[in-house]
Amino acid sequence: MPELISPIAPRSASAAAAPSASGLGTGGDPEFSFSDADFQRVRELIYQRAGISLNAGKQAMVYSRLSRRLRETSQRSFASYLQWLQASSGPAGEAEWQEFVNCLTTNLTSFFREDHHFHALVDDLRARSGRALRIWCSASSTGEEPYSIAMTVAEALGNQAKVQIIASDIDTKVLATAQRGVYDGDARGLSPERLQRHFMRGKGVQAGYIRIKPELARWVEFRSFNLMGRSWSLGEAFDIIFCRNVMIYFDAATQRQVLQQMHGVLRPDGLLYVGHSENFTESRDLFHLRGKTIYQRV
C-alpha cells in the first residue's frame, strides 16, 4: 500500500502511576463517596440528556467511568460533581455536559460488524444506482461503521458513485477519532483485499497504522448529533439509515420517539438497518420487516 500522506502521532506511552480504574484507594476503600441516591441521579440525568436507560446493575460501571471525570475536575464526591454539573451554564457548562455524556456512552464497534448487513447493502445500493444517494450512520463511534459503508459503496457502485454519508454520534471524542480515519494495521474485520484497496499503510514512525483513502473519506461527513434532539436538521431525506445497537439502551417510549423521527427523515422506500437484538415489530405503522434486522419505511 502507498505511504500515508499526512503525519500521524506515534503511540503514546502509558501514563505512570495512573489511578486504578476501580477507583479504590490503597486501602481498598472507594476513592469517592457514591451513594445510591447519587447513582439514581446519574440515571435520571443521562436519560434526560441522551435517552439512555441505565439499569440497576450498572452502578460499578458508572463509578468507574465518572470517577475519572471527578479527578479531572477536582471534585471530592459524586454529590458535589453532580451538583456542580447541574449548576453549570454557558459554553463551559455545555462542554461539561458533553464530557458527562461521553463518559457514559458505550462504543463497541469494528469494521463490517454484523456482515450480513453489508451483503444486503450491496443489493440495496445497486437497486438505487443512477441517482444521488444519502445514507445516515447515526451512531458512527470511532468510524469503522461509516467507513465500512463507504467501502461497500465503492465495491458496489465504483469510486465515482454519487453518495453522501452523514456519520453522527453523541460522543464528541469518538467522532474526533473517526474523522482522522486512522486505525491500527491489525484492525478487526478487514480482509487483505480490502486493506490493499481502501487503505494507505504507514511507514517509519507511522508503521503499524492504516488510513482510509481520501477517495472514500470524501463521501463521509461527521457531525455531533443527539437523537434526543427535538429538531433533526439533516437536510434532504435519506435512502438508508444505519442505527445499529443503539436503541437497546432506550426504553420503549424513547424507541418509539426515535423511530417516528427516523420515519420522517427517510424517503418513502427508505431502509433502516438495526442491530441483531433490536426488534420493532410493535411499530408496524412506521416500518415493516424486509430482511434480517432490516426494516422498510411504511
- Decide if 211 is catalytic: no
CB burial readout 176-196, b (16+ within 10 A) else e:
eebbbbbbeeeeeebeeebbe
List 241's β-bridge partners, or say none. 136, 272
- Cell 424517503 found at: 267
Nearest-CA neighbor of 146 among 249, 219, 202, 239?
219
Measure the CA–CA gap between 275 and 292, rounded to whole angstroms: 10
Separation CA 66–CA 70 (nearest Å): 6
Cross-strand pairs, 287: 297
For 53, list phi and psi in degrees, rounded to 5. Answer: -100, 105
Contact yes or no for 271/240 (Cβ under 8 A): yes
CA dihedral in degrees (136, 141, 145, 146; nearest 10)?
40
CB proximity list for 95: less than 8 A, separation 6 or greater = none
Given 38, 43, 65, 69, the catalytic residue: 65
How far is the C-alpha of 136 from the C-alpha of 227, rounded, in Å?
Answer: 12
Collect all residues with Cβ–Cβ distance below 8 Å to 254 and sequence separation of at least 6: 51, 53, 228, 247
Per the annotation, the verdict on 65 as an active-site residue is yes
Backbone angles phi, psi at 87, to 5 degrees: -85, -10
- Name the active-site residue from 38, 124, 169, 171: 169
List the beta strands (DSSP E) in 176-236: 182-184, 199-201, 209-212, 220-224
Which residues are catalytically annotated? Answer: 65, 169
